[in-house]
Amino acid sequence: MKNFFDFTGKVVLVTGASSGIGRATAELFGECGASVAISYLKNKSGADEAVAAISAKGHGRFVGNADGSAVGTATVSAMAFQADVTTNEAVVKLVREVEENFGGIDILVNNAGSLVERLRTQELSEARWNEVMQLNATSAFFAAQAAIPKMLEKGGGAIVNVTSIAARNGGAPGSIHYSSAKAAMLTMTKGLAKEYANQGIRVNAVSPGVIDTPYHETFTAREVWNNMSNVIPMGRVGTSAEVASVIAFLASDAAAYICGETIEINGGMLMD
């Protein structure tokens, strides 16, 4: 039987991959044989740890960071790239650096994003609105735009956008900027999918619900977090690994006829 999760020979870029869902996704692709580019903003140690974790699972091929420093040997390769994806210039530079080190990207996972801070409507400035939109949605579009030419040269590819349940339910109070940006990603996913489906590039998205990540350590009050499981039919919050496995599925040939879809990963909290 074909192993649909063998990504040997594939180049994967995961943005925002130094912790949480991004890191779990990067490490899973590495475990499945891919060469993985890990982008990060400030958490260099987390990115380096992800590179080391991927490297430790293989044998015999050099693995290093973008600055040339070695972190081990493996049958897969991984590198960390620092990038502030709130600027389009940095996004394009990131994609070009990955291509220079690995070759054309086969799989792009647009995971970078954040609420930045909770703000009610009357507190939300134009600058903060633009920052959150750029970080979550605009960066994803320009990463796709930059990666697609090489995908077309290689005969196809896969893009997976990481949106949020907030895109469907409006999010918790103080997150209208974040939920709006994530909703934009839903529409973007469908638009890109329609444009490139007949050229071999599949574009899909995942929409995580309540997942145990550093996001909630920062933006969710402890008393609210402790009661989360009460509103989830499965009775528990999700894990980053559970989201990563769906991302890998959408990028794999097992999802060869899935295009323009968003998979909800929320333990039954929101059902179509």
Q: pLDDT of 138-185, one tens digit each?
A: 999 999 999 999 999 999 999 999 999 999 999 889 999 999 999 999
Place of tokens 């402890």: 222
Is 215 one of the annotated active-site residues of the chain?
Answer: no
By the 8 A CB rule, do 204 and 263 touch?
yes
The reply to whether 49 falls in a domain is yes
The reply to whether 5 falls in a domain is no
**The domain spanning residue 24 has which CATH number?**
3.40.50.720
The reply to whether 201 falls in a domain is yes
Catalytic residue of the set 178, 196, 215, 257: 178
Range of the domain at 123: 11-263
Please measure the distance between the N-terminal and C-terminal CA atoms of the chain and give it in whole angstroms: 33
Our count of domains for the chain comes to: 1
What pLDDT score does 7 carry? 95
The reply to whether 270 falls in a domain is no
What pLDDT score does 4 carry? 87
Looking at the predicted structure, is the pLDDT value of residue 74 above 50? Answer: no
Q: Which residue has the higher pLDDT, 222 or 192?
A: 192
Mean pLDDT rounded to a whole number for the chain: 90
- For 106, 183, 193, 260, the CA distances from 197, given in Å and listed in that order, are 15, 21, 5, 9
Angle at 187 between CA 242 and CA 94, to 5 degrees: 70
The reply to whether 163 falls in a domain is yes
The reply to whether 271 falls in a domain is no
Judge if pTM exceeds 0.85.
yes
Spell out the long-range contacts of 100-105 with Cβ–Cβ below 8 A and sequence spacing 24 or more. Answer: 101/37, 101/66, 102/11, 102/35, 102/37, 102/77, 103/11, 103/150, 104/11, 104/147, 104/150, 104/151, 104/153, 104/154, 105/11, 105/12, 105/13, 105/37, 105/147, 105/150, 105/151, 105/157
By the 8 A CB rule, do 107 and 28 touch?
no
By the 8 A CB rule, do 138 and 177 touch?
no
Q: pLDDT of 117-142, one tens digit each?
A: 999 999 999 999 999 999 999 999 99
By the 8 A CB rule, do 124 and 178 touch?
no
By the 8 A CB rule, do 77 and 36 touch?
yes
How many residues belong to the chain? 272
The reply to whether 154 falls in a domain is yes
Which of 8-12, 64-68, 191-195, 229-233 has the lowest average pLDDT? 64-68
- Count of helices and strands (H, E) across the chain: 10, 9
Residues sharing a CB contact under 8 Å with residue 33, sequence separation 6 or more, in sequence order: 6, 7, 8, 9, 10, 75, 76
The reply to whether 36 falls in a domain is yes
